[in-house]
Amino acid sequence: MNKDFDVLDIKGKRFLYSKKVEDHFFNPRNILDEKIDIGQFNGKAEIGSPACGDVMKVFLLIDPKTKRILDFKWKTFGCASAIASTSILSEMAIGKTIDQAYCITADQIVKALGGLPQKKIHCSVLGDHALRAAIDNFRKH
């Protein structure tokens, strides 16, 4: 077995995850803390469906002058891949301009995670859509 991957048993199903996915799942970065006032964020979006199991809420703090993402908080309800994807996406987006962040793709998220099981790729696609929706929300105001 490759030392960069682990087999995780999640709800009776076994998936081969990279160590990076495992790290972001068990130690998510930039997750929304219940103590944080979401009113300070000027780009917000919710994407997904509770019926399918994955829902992502994204909150961006964007500098109105430079259009740079200063902070990215999120809350994801879903599988390990969805949580890890949103966590790494937050790291990828902070510090970028909204035009740069808008160009982040699902493939880039998967690559940054060191890969995802084929059946879990759809989880990373939600992340880039949620980021774009939050940027679009900012642009409307």
The catalytic residue positions are 52, 123
What is the pairing mode between strands 54-62 and 13-18?
Answer: unpaired
What angle separates helix 80-93 from helix 19-26, to the nearest 10 degrees? 90
Residue at token pair 């199903």:
13
CA-wise closest residue to 86 among 49, 137, 32, 43: 32
Q: How far is CA 43 from CA 21, 54, 59, 63, 68, in A?
A: 26, 20, 6, 11, 12
Helix (H) and strand (E) counts for the chain? 5, 5
